[in-house]
Amino acid sequence: MSGVARQDGRTESAGPEDPDVPVAGASAYDGYDRSAIDRSGQAEAFDAIAGRYTEAFPHREGQQAATDWLTDNLPAGSRVLDVGCGTGLPTAGRLAGAGHRVVGVDLSAAMVALARENVPGAEFHQLDLADIGPGGAAPLGRFDAVAAFFSLLMLPRAEIPPALRMLHQLMRPEGLLALSMVEADVDDTVIPFLGNSIRVSGYLRDELRQVVREAGFEIAGENSYAYAPASTEVPPEIQLFLHCRRRA
Ligand SMILES: C[S@@+](CC[C@H](N)C(=O)[O-])C[C@H]1O[C@@H](n2cnc3c(N)ncnc32)[C@H](O)[C@@H]1O
């Protein structure tokens, strides 16, 4: 939608709160050297494991509880972004089932194909999250809420603050962010993952809270889970879920 029809027949520019209009303004990535972005191997690894992903991570209590926090606090029909949506399950499926307008993005073509199959009621794009904000190659408009489950950990640490600030820009004031990360003091570290290698970053929980607050969010709640994937090819992990609200 590019404008609002008025009674006098003219078209009024859509305001910044119109959800489908790209958000204007400087990119949160402006201070970040985009030429340093290196995704080599990341999409390929998730393409290779997409078909086995649900089997390896069958228990999703954390995602389900954090998604329920979103649905409990959003009016029906809210526009929700699922960043690094993976297979679309359980998150996009649960959000769409609760009557929200869900937009999922993922770097991996195989993940996006599965998500489209699994959640036909949502919209999915094969995109790098670095491209979806203001000034990016594929702006997606404004959102009432964002789910980012285990996707920002796929970035080098230096990129996590600009990525969070970009999500902040995409959200309406007081919009909700459900964020999960694995608790670990690592930066762009190669780990084995279901027979492939991926690079991951993480923080210990105090530092994660600080990074999230500095990006303009308040933390309304938090859960942690000791998680053992159903595969010896992925080590056990501590999962952190933060329930955040965009400060105005
Ligand atoms: C660990 S999986 C989590 C998937 C899903 N959110 C979940 O909780 O099941 C991380 C996902 O992020 C995607 N991803 C990695 N880097 C990305 C990027 N730069 N932009 C968008 N998606 C990315 C991967 O392809 C993968 O599907």
Residue 208 has pLDDT above 70, yes or no: yes
Q: Which helix (H) or strand (E) holds 177?
A: strand 171-182
Region label for 9, one of left (φ > 0), alpha (ψ between -120 and 50) or beta (otherwise): left
Region label for 194, one of left (φ > 0), alpha (ψ between -120 and 50) or beta (otherwise): left
User: How far apart, in whole angstroms, are the C-alpha atoms of residue 164 and residue 245?
Assistant: 12
Find out whether the beta carbon of 180 lies less than 6 Å from any atom of ligand 1: no
What band does 27 get if pLDDT is binned at 50, 70 and 90? confident
Find out whether the beta carbon of 149 lies less than 6 Å from any atom of ligand 1: yes
Looking at residue 8, its pLDDT comes to 33
User: How far apart, in whole angstroms, are the C-alpha atoms of residue 155 and residue 134?
Assistant: 19
Question: pLDDT tens, 153-174?
Answer: 999 999 999 999 999 999 999 9
Tell me how far CA of residue 69 lies from CA of 19, 54, 120, 226, in angstroms. Answer: 21, 22, 23, 20
User: How far apart, in whole angstroms, are the C-alpha atoms of residue 220 and residue 73?
Assistant: 12
Residue with the nearest Cα to atom 27 of ligand 1?
86
Percent pLDDT > 90 in the chain is 73
What band does 6 get if pLDDT is binned at 50, 70 and 90? very low
Is CATH 3.30.360.10 the right assignment for the domain spanning 38-246? no
Domain residue spans in the chain? Answer: 38-246
Q: Which mutation among 47, 55, 127, 151 tests ligand 1's pocket best, with the greatest number of atoms within 8 A of CB?
A: 151
Find out whether the beta carbon of 110 lies less than 6 Å from any atom of ligand 1: no
